[in-house]
Amino acid sequence: MRKSLYCIIALLALISVGKNASAQYPNEDLIRVYRWLNTVDNNYVTLADGEIQEGQLLQWKYKEKTLLFYAFKTPGPDRVAIYRWTNPVTKDQTSIAEDEVTDSDMMQKGYTLKSLQFYAPIRRAENHIAIYRWYKTKSKDWVTMPEFGDTDKYYEKGYKQKTFQFYGIMRNEYE
């Protein structure tokens, strides 16, 4: 009887230690945010992981999947909602922070299909990086880029109007 009682206590202790160890693994509220390039329209889109199935994106001729940063799945203090807007005429899609541009201004520019993507920090903290939106007047395309991105490459492609949007969270795949 004592032996089985000790075994049960030991098992419960192991389960408890296992839960504490797994709690230190990746935050379940974080989501990866990627940039994709549509090779047909030569437009960039910023998407949260799983927002559109990868197979569908590949079928639509998207490639150059690039991890940009991590964001939150849920609202919280010092977080802003980020929405994806689509312009059916220019086939452009852009990510806009809540209250960054009014809905009426976006619709006046021809954007529709507003959909929630993720929540981003609005204050710099440890492991946070500034996220900017660059605009290309000629093709009316927007591209989302972290502060350390290859800005020369996009500048040469005609992206000029740089605007701060929010902060992203940097993590490596092993955290």
Measured CA angle at 45 (ends 101, 169), to 5 deg: 75
- Between 23 and 31, the higher pLDDT residue: 31
pLDDT at 12 over 70: no
Looking up tokens 């006046």 gives: 108
Q: Kindly report whether the global pTM for this prediction surpasses the value 0.85.
A: no
Determine phi and psi for 21, rounding to 5 degrees: -65, -45
Domain extents for the chain?
25-169
Question: What is the structure's pLDDT at 26?
Answer: 57
Indicate the residue type of 50.
G
* Percent of all residues in the chain with a pLDDT value above 70, rounded to a whole number: 82
pLDDT at 8 over 80: no
Question: What is the structure's pLDDT at 1?
Answer: 56
d(CA 91, CA 45) in angstroms, rounded, equals 10
What mean pLDDT value characterizes the chain? 82
pLDDT at 108 over 90: yes
pLDDT bracket for residue 92 (50, 70, 90): confident
pLDDT bracket for residue 47 (50, 70, 90): very high
pLDDT at 69 over 90: yes
pLDDT at 24 over 50: no
pLDDT at 140 over 60: yes
pLDDT digits (tens, 9 = 90+) for 109-118: 899 999 999 9
Percent helix / strand / coil, the chain, rounded to 5:
25, 45, 35
Looking up tokens 């005429």 gives: 89
Question: What is the structure's pLDDT at 15?
Answer: 56
Going 160 to 62 to 68 to 74, the CA torsion angle's sign is positive
pLDDT at 60 over 50: yes
